[in-house]
Amino acid sequence: MNYLAKRLDAVKPSASAAVSQNAKALKAEGHDVIDLGLGEPDFDTPAHIVEAAYQAAKLGETRYPPTDGTAALKLAIIDKFKRDNTLNFSPSEVIVGNGAKQVIFDAFMATLENTSEVLLCAPYFGQYKDMVLILGGRPIVIDCPPDNGFRLTPELLEAAITPHTRWLLLNLPSNPSGTSYDAQQLSELGDVVRRHPHVLVMSDEIYEHITFDSKKHVSFLSANPDLSGQVLIVSGVSKAYAMTGWRIGYGAGPTPLIKGMTKVQSQISSGACSVAQAAASAALNGPQNSVALFKSAFEARRNLVVERIKGIDGLTLAPPDGAFYAYINCEHFIGATTAEGIALEDDTAFTAYILSEAKVAAVPGSAYDLSPFFRISTACSEDVLNIALDRIAAALSKLTVKGNTP
């Protein structure tokens, strides 16, 4: 008997989950698999943050917290927006959730009807689409190919908006492409949004502190301050402070929206873990030197990957502006055949080949709705990256590409 709700049928098993399952299976068989599929920093949470959680628990901060976040953490978030983005929010405009993921889910659940359309800029973080589908909304995918640096343009945005558009999703810088936008580009997108007051913008800025080449992150709202009634900024401590397991994310946006999201959250989780909220307050209020250290490590790894990919015939990679991923074009190898005579028909087959031949797990572009690419994470040491790229290069050299000999 199938007792699962119909709404689950809309969500297909993700390509990234399949990769990670296959990688685990190979590891269990004793293979030395390098997992470059992961989306979490490989650093430890800084000690002063862990200490703050310990102290909070010892001092009895162990009761149900307010649904929308503790007063202390909300203040820390408000100060963060002032300091980093020159944005002013009041406590009623801020919500804390169990990770940025819950904040995104709250926002969709609070606003989507089954006719509502959500604009996703491919390549995009796959979970956006799954959440929209599970809630009965309609994901509308806008292809944003590499010739414009994977960026959404005002023309593409204008063409995609309909009377049913509820949200435009932006991710600055992006998982998986690393693309960020400057103030001018964001203000041009803002001009389109301004013409369509029924459209809300969710700007997921969780990688804001991981930007390279001295580029400064610009928030969508900083570039378009007059759109505050239409914008929800989503962020969290997972990526900047190596706190993925603490599950603290936050959102800042118009009070009526935050109120609706709080209503949703009150039915799901009664707020986020009190001790983790104390840790997140310490992260936002405390010394920021670990953020700078993580960022420079990610930048060195980005540089290494860009250089190494230049040396592998058939792969191309435009240097990512931020985040800790490389979204690598593998078009040259689509249609190539393995030594066993199997043709690699798409990027899913390509990553399956890399996994079986090179024992390197990577995520196919199909997981982000823009092919043929594959994503590797740089959340591992330079030594591990070098070994993984050596293995990938060796595996690719064994392929027969149409018109080339191996």
Ligand X SMILES: Cc1ncc(COP(=O)(O)O)c(C=O)c1O
CA dist., res. 327 & res. 325, Å (int): 6
249 binds ligand X (CB under 6 A): yes
Binding span for ligand X by CB under 6 A among 27-35, 96-104, 312-320, 363-371: 96-104
175 binds ligand X (CB under 6 A): yes
244 binds ligand X (CB under 6 A): yes
Of residues 23, 206, 328, 363, which one binds ligand X by CB under 6 A?
Answer: 206
| Minimum gap (Å) between residue 134 Cβ and ligand X | 16
- Pattern 99-128, ligand X, x by CB under 6 A: xxx-----------------------x---
CA dist., res. 257 & res. 237, Å (int): 22
| Tokens 């978030």 -> residue | 77
39 binds ligand X (CB under 6 A): yes
Binding span for ligand X by CB under 6 A among 4-12, 98-106, 129-137, 181-189: 98-106
Nearer to ligand X, 327 or 353 (CB): 327
Nearer to ligand X, 157 or 233 (CB): 233
204 binds ligand X (CB under 6 A): yes
CB contact burial 345-371 (16+ within 10 A = b; e otherwise): ebbbbbbbbbbebbbbbbbbbbbbbbb
Binding span for ligand X by CB under 6 A among 75-83, 94-102, 221-229, 330-338: 94-102
CA dist., res. 262 & res. 53, Å (int): 24
Binding span for ligand X by CB under 6 A among 46-54, 93-101, 177-185, 395-403: 93-101
CA dist., res. 79 & res. 112, Å (int): 30
Q: Which among 249, 203, 257, 198 has a CA at the least distance from the CA of 225?
A: 203
CA dist., res. 202 & res. 174, Å (int): 13
| Minimum gap (Å) between residue 249 Cβ and ligand X | 4
CA dist., res. 233 & res. 256, Å (int): 14
